[in-house]
Amino acid sequence: MKTYDSQIPVEEKMVKQSIQIFARVKPTKKTASVYCVDNEEPAGSILEFLVPKDLADGFINNKKETYKFRFQEVFDQTVKQEDIFEAIAKPVADSVLSGYNGTIFAYGQTGSGKTFTITGGAERYSDRGIIPRTLSYLYQHFSQDSSMVYTTHISYLEIYNEVGYDLLDPRHEASRLEDLPKVTIMEDPDQNIHLRNLSLHQSANEEEALNLLFLGDTNRMIAETPMNQASTRSHCIFTMHVCGREPGSVTVRRSKLHLVDLAGSERVGKTGVCGQLLTEAKYINLSLHYLEQVIIALSEKNRLHIPYRNSMMTSVLRDSLGGNCMTTMIATVSVDKRNVDESISTCRFAQRVALIRNEALLNEEMDPALLIVRLKREIQSLKEELSMVTGEKREDQLTQEEIHKMEELVKVFLDDPDCEVTLALGPDMRKIQYCFSLLKVLAIHSLSLSHNFYLLSISHHPLLFSFDMFVLPHYIFFSPPPPPPHNHYHHALIPKGGKNKYKA
Ligand SMILES: Nc1ncnc2c1ncn2[C@@H]1O[C@H](COP(=O)(O)OP(=O)(O)OP(=O)(O)O)[C@@H](O)[C@H]1O
Ligand SMILES: [Mg+2]
């Protein structure tokens, strides 16, 4: 087994990385060998299909007999779940812990082992798949890393027949699927996707997270089909939101980990399904077709439009496909003779996926609430320092008395014909700002009066509690302003071209 270093250099703000592709071969009892794996290649591993002539005639084409595909690594039939976790999921989990988004998705035909790989098998504890092992790994890390404080939230989305459902909705058991609230996509002006009706559950420890996983799994749409006794008929996205911060720091790192079990493609002509199974298969095939269109568009140079909006799955996974995410794909393949053509399609799809380059950003941000608390504390200590220096205690707001005094000072300043006269306010920014605002309002006002009647939008302006003005073309009055309380405003009518009592 190959080992991989952690994917990211420490503290890199942006990591450009192609989507990593791995292949996993499902165990088979059939002995006839139609494939071989070469893990000795220096740049990845090769999965090769050897298509017998008779099969090639019928299914693929009658010229070629071997098909070779390169992967990061190919996991053959005997590889254990633990090894899959170590090689594929652990590096992604480490990236998530460092503050990058991560996605792992399994893709392959129905019955090829996607659910077994992502969630696990039901029979043995050792068959636990990527999700429970990743949860275990992450919570173990949280409890051991005393330099950081972590919080985690979990959501579990199911997309069945192109409609989104919340697998963690407690009404799932008692209600019919069509009666449950649908999860819908909303896009904000920055094109960020938000999911309405998808609940987010805080989970403090591994046990709580596993309970959520179990609850979601029991709510999934599963059916017996000709290809799989327990075929999962929907796409499922298990998402873990991780928030980490150093104690006392205002910087937080938020990352998302999507673990995705796609529904499997199915050649309905071959399997002969009908009724509900056929409807499901059509929806599954259509949404996988839309996924393929996105992958093709992304892998082509200079394509401006990427058709993410065609399906719910591609909309939800937009970041994972060509965006801010470190993404890994596991191609699950069956090497039974009758499935070889579909396995080859899966591998072809994977080769396209490998061409996509993502740009994962370090999701680091200031927590606004914490920042405000810190700044308030800083202001308070600066105020205390200032009052120690000046010997007087200073409030945030000017008092009525101070405001009145400022207005008198400004009036004297403006009335003085001497151009050199100064306005002495002392080292007090509140007073300086107040006088500047006052002068600005007066300047705007005098400008508007010299041009035309003008409605000054000065409501709520604290400076104008006594000079609020409202000029109407037909009713031009002047009324001396009564002294209202601070911050109260009213309208006084003043004459066009009338003298502004503050104007020099
Ligand atoms: N690597 C494996 N080792 C042992 N059993 C496996 C392995 N992969 C798959 N299986 C078994 O094969 C069967 C089909 O696998 P699984 O349900 O995971 O397929 P799937 O790709 O999810 O199919 P679908 O698209 O229909 O949901 C299951 O019984 C599963 O336990
Ligand atoms: Mg499945």
Helix (H) or strand (E) holding 409: helix 400-415
Q: Does the predicted model carry a pTM greater than 0.85?
A: no
Q: Tally Cβ neighbours within 10 Å of residue 432.
A: 14
Over range 92-104, report the average pLDDT. Answer: 96
- Full residue range of the structural domain in which residue 160 is found: 14-362
Q: Are residues 220 and 98 in the same domain?
A: yes
Q: Tally Cβ neighbours within 10 Å of residue 382.
A: 10
Q: Are residues 73 and 171 in the same domain?
A: yes
CATH of the domain at 302: 3.40.850.10
Q: Is residue 118 part of a domain?
A: yes
Q: How far is CA 341 from CA 29, 56, 59, 61, 373, in A?
A: 19, 9, 7, 10, 62
Q: Is residue 371 part of a domain?
A: no
Q: Is residue 152 part of a domain?
A: yes
Reported as a pLDDT band with limits 50, 70 and 90, residue 500 is: very low
Contact at 8 Å (CB) between 231 and 258?
Answer: no
Q: Are residues 399 and 329 in the same domain?
A: no
Q: Is residue 8 part of a domain?
A: no
Q: pLDDT value at position 59?
A: 56
Ligand nearest to the CA of 126: 1
Which of the listed residues 24, 77, 82, 115 should we mutate to test ligand 1's pocket, taking the one with most ligand atoms within 8 A of CB? 115
Instruction: Write out pLDDT tens, residues 378-394.
Output: 988 888 888 778 777 77
The single-letter DSSP state of residue 292 is H
Model confidence at 453: pLDDT above 50: no
Q: Are residues 472 and 354 in the same domain?
A: no
Q: Are residues 80 and 151 in the same domain?
A: yes
Instruction: Work out the burial of residue 376: count CB atoms within 10 Å of its CB; fewer than 13 is exposed, 13-18 middle, 19 or more buried.
Output: exposed
Q: pLDDT value at position 54?
A: 61
Ligand nearest to the CA of 280: 1
What does the block give as tokens for 345? 């399609």
Number of structural domains (the chain) is 2
Over range 197-211, report the average pLDDT. Answer: 96
Q: Are residues 202 and 302 in the same domain?
A: yes
Q: Are residues 40 and 165 in the same domain?
A: yes
Q: Is residue 388 part of a domain?
A: no
Average model confidence (pLDDT) across the chain: 84
Reported as a pLDDT band with limits 50, 70 and 90, residue 55 is: low
CA of 232 to the centre of ligand 1 (A): 10
Q: pLDDT value at position 60?
A: 54
Residue 120 in contact with ligand 1 by CB distance below 6 A: no
Q: Are residues 303 and 438 in the same domain?
A: no
Q: Are residues 56 and 159 in the same domain?
A: yes
Residue 121 in contact with ligand 1 by CB distance below 6 A: yes
Q: Are residues 433 and 308 in the same domain?
A: no
Reported as a pLDDT band with limits 50, 70 and 90, residue 332 is: very high
Instruction: Write out pLDDT tens, residues 345-355.
Output: 999 999 999 99
Q: Is residue 373 part of a domain?
A: no
Q: pLDDT value at position 269?
A: 77
Q: Give the domain-ending residue among 362, 387, 404.
A: 362
Q: Are residues 341 and 405 in the same domain?
A: no
Which of the listed residues 29, 80, 88, 228 should we mutate to test ligand 1's pocket, taking the one with most ligand atoms within 8 A of CB? 228
Top mean pLDDT of 11-15, 290-294, 382-386, 467-471 is at: 290-294
Q: Are residues 454 and 336 in the same domain?
A: no
